[in-house]
Structure 1
Amino acid sequence: MKNRTVYLLQQFELRKLTSAETAELLDLTTTDEDGITAAIVDMMEAELTAEVVDHQKWAPVLNRIIAVDKPRAKKINKMLLFRWTAAAILLVALSFALLFNRSAEPERKHPRFANDVKPGGDKAILTLADGSNISLTDAKNGAIAGGQGIEIVKTKDGQLIYNVSGNSKVAPGAVNVITTPRGGQYQLIMPDGTKVWLNAESAIKFSPAIASADLREVELSGEAYFEVAKTHRPFVVKTSRQTVNVLGTHFNINNYNDEPAVQTTLFEGSVLVTASNKAVSEQQLKKVYLVPGQQSVVRNHALTVVPANMEEALAWKNGNFVFANERIESIMRKVARWYDIEVIYQGKITENDFVGSISRFKKVSEVLNLLELTQAVHFKVEGRRITVMP
């Protein structure tokens, strides 16, 4: 029986299944789920790259989303969890593909989504010290502002670069702000050489005199990844609930007001995270040093340190959504910010956690389709409004 299952899977990948074999394999996905999942695991472990487990061919399938049963997941070690999750993803995708082949015509007549929404892109507003605004989305490439020894340049790659001359005379009180809207992101090279990636619905505020300041200080709302230029002068990032002190390092701060926690993830160097008095209780720890691979979390009036999921923390910067045991409400907050949409909920929503990844540069329908493969959640799209349903 096992050899027969492997044969059917191989024929499925090679797109050589007959109608009878398609029906047989579809039946196995419901009557012998454990057997077909075990066969997929064996095929993955055997690394049959020449036939079925060609990672390039299977990558789109492996990226499909699956709801994970939390009690079971806790009992499985990380490697085993990955293998079985991947196999289960393949199983869900396989069932979907087989069913789709059978029902493609009715699906075309009754589309699930009346509208589609394109992904976000490089969009931002630069607010200068005099209060004037420049749309970085519309501005032409090249120098867009300057004066007092600083030239601000927009590149063809979607970066904003501050070029500082040796005789810069910027007033210390002057402030620039770069703001990304919902559906926007932008990359910045600050006057001191620090690189910043801003996620959607975020803002960074700083002085153009930061290149010569004894204390390099910025204010952040939303989410940003920093690669701080190394120097003896400290670099400080202030948010509404914490302060991060560094010299030269790489880290990510997620500080959205609609998220239950502030997360600071360290990739290189070291940082000191100090929670604000209003963010943590008086008796709680208020300062922690992070080493690479750690994440500080300010939540429920407490500051804690946990091992970081580096791939998940940096997914947005790398152009992806990555979900690691994540509730649908959390996923939809990310989707709403990136696609600039409204999300509402109808009925009893699943409490399952979701695992998976997909490019942020897909249309929203593709993201929602993958989530729907779990059968744990469904969606209706009307204009820029998404309704989440059981």
Structure 2
Amino acid sequence: MKERINYLLLRFEEGTLSRAETEELMALLELDETPVSDAIAKRIDAQLPTTVEPEQWAPVLEKILSVDRKIPQGRLLMPLFRWAAAAVILITLSVGGWLYFSGGLDKDSNKALYANDIQPGGNDAILTLADGSEISLTDAGRGKLLETAGVRIEKLADGQLVYTANKEPENTGAEVTYNTITTPRGGQYQVNLPDGSKVWLNAASSMKFPTSFAKQKERRIELSGEAYFEVAKNKEQPFKVLTPSSEKDRMQEIEVLGTHFNVNAYDDEPETKTTLLEGSVRVSVPVSGAAAQLLPGQQAIMKNRALQTVNIDTEEAVAWKNGNFIFAGEGIESIMRKISRWYNVEVVYQGKIQPNNYIGTVSRFSDVSEVLGILELTKAVHFKIEGRRITVMP
């Protein structure tokens, strides 16, 4: 135990502590019965102020988490205590979650919450063919679903939908046909496009794409909602993602040659975000002419026709694809929009909710009660589950 704590403390002092290691170290600090916790506190107190004013805690968090951008300031829920007291919501979520899943907290402490539980989403989507007919990918068995001129469509055992282009496509001069894959609230799906590109669709999303890219100058698809892309390289055919919207001001175009990136373009979100993990992309807003060239680790934020480029921790942007929720200085309304889409629930608010920012990580494959239970550990917000409705209360 002491060797592990000394190792974590050394990494903290070097500024190289990972998120998981940060949670582990904070968990040990919060366990009063841990024999070495006081010694650790004294060593950290020697580096950081024993009292941190609210306006000072964002840079302290940056040092702890080694993130690239400033984390928004949140209301403190407890008196400042030791070096980590300024990050009380971070501690409550991260350490509380650690205790919660390791059995340190009583899951039956809120029986009203657990009496009405909701399971997480899963692989669920509808494929709409060019003629308007629909195939439920949830119900369809594995194997070939359809084979048309130039392309074979099949569902793999792990649930992926794969488009395979024939080596010598027939009728290449024929009109291009399009398919649309749509995930419901509470669904997600992976699609392998005919050019070899891979796309992961988040809940409540849809993607329209051609069944074949043969003889086309560019590979153009349309996306609403959120998706992660791993684009196959082809200099002769640039890959373009359009995010059409009912609001023309929110239309966006992304052009790539071969890269990994995430696009969040939900209509109910205030901003459209494009995050680059690998390669290079150009993001543009046709209605205003605004444009930005992204480098890995950067995010383009579109709002009110304008584009802003920021450096970010990409782990947060693709957490959903990796099976997690990551909240990095996020307000409760933003968090509940994610929960609403993934668990297919209605969210209503009762009373005045204080504007706190939450920081922490929890699995997307937990029942909704476990996610809400961890948020409740902050004592800043409470929940009631009735059927598929979640009420958020102070």
Instruction: Report whether the alignment pairs 1:184 with 2:187.
Output: yes
Distance 1:345 1:40 in 2: 41
8 A contact 1:201–1:222 mirrored in 2: yes
Stretches (4+) displaced over 6 A: 42-45, 94-97, 100-105
Pairs within 5 Å for 1:1-390: 71-76=55-60, 78-80=62-64, 84=84, 85=87, 88-89=91-92, 93=96, 107=109, 110-168=111-169, 169=171, 171-232=174-235, 233-240=237-244, 241-277=251-287, 280=288, 286-390=290-394
Distance 1:173 1:231 in 2: 19
How many residues end up aligned between the 2 structures? Answer: 329
Higher helix share: 1
- Is 160-169 or 356-365 further displaced after alignment? 160-169
SS at match of 2:371: helix
Q: Aligned pair in 2 of structure 1 residues 159, 91: CA closer, same or farther (>3 Å)?
A: closer
1:210 deviates by 1.6
Question: What amino acid maps onto 2:285 in structure 1?
Answer: A
> What is the TM-score with the length of structure 2 in the denominator?
0.76
Question: What amino acid maps onto 1:196 in structure 2?
Answer: V
Distance 1:192 1:332 in 2: 36
Distance 1:91 1:323 in 2: 10
8 A contact 1:191–1:211 mirrored in 2: no
Distance 1:304 1:94 in 2: 34
Distance 1:151 1:93 in 2: 49
Distance 1:144 1:158 in 2: 12
SS at match of 2:296: coil
1:147 deviates by 1.2
Q: Aligned pair in 2 of structure 1 residues 206, 95: CA closer, same or farther (>3 Å)?
A: closer
Q: Aligned pair in 2 of structure 1 residues 73, 151: CA closer, same or farther (>3 Å)?
A: same
8 A contact 1:328–1:350 mirrored in 2: no
Q: Aligned pair in 2 of structure 1 residues 39, 199: CA closer, same or farther (>3 Å)?
A: farther
Question: What amino acid maps onto 1:197 in structure 2?
Answer: W
Distance 2:317 2:129 in 1: 30
Per-residue displacement from partner, 1:177-205 (whole Å, max 9, x unpaired)?
00000000000100111100000000110
1:381 deviates by 0.2
1:123 deviates by 0.4
Q: Aligned pair in 2 of structure 1 residues 123, 42: CA closer, same or farther (>3 Å)?
A: farther
> What is the TM-score with the length of structure 1 in the denominator?
0.76
Question: What amino acid maps onto 2:309 in structure 1?
Answer: V
Instruction: For structure 1, list consecutive stretches of 5 or more residues without a partner in the other structure.
Output: 1-5, 7-27, 46-67
Q: Aligned pair in 2 of structure 1 residues 146, 44: CA closer, same or farther (>3 Å)?
A: farther
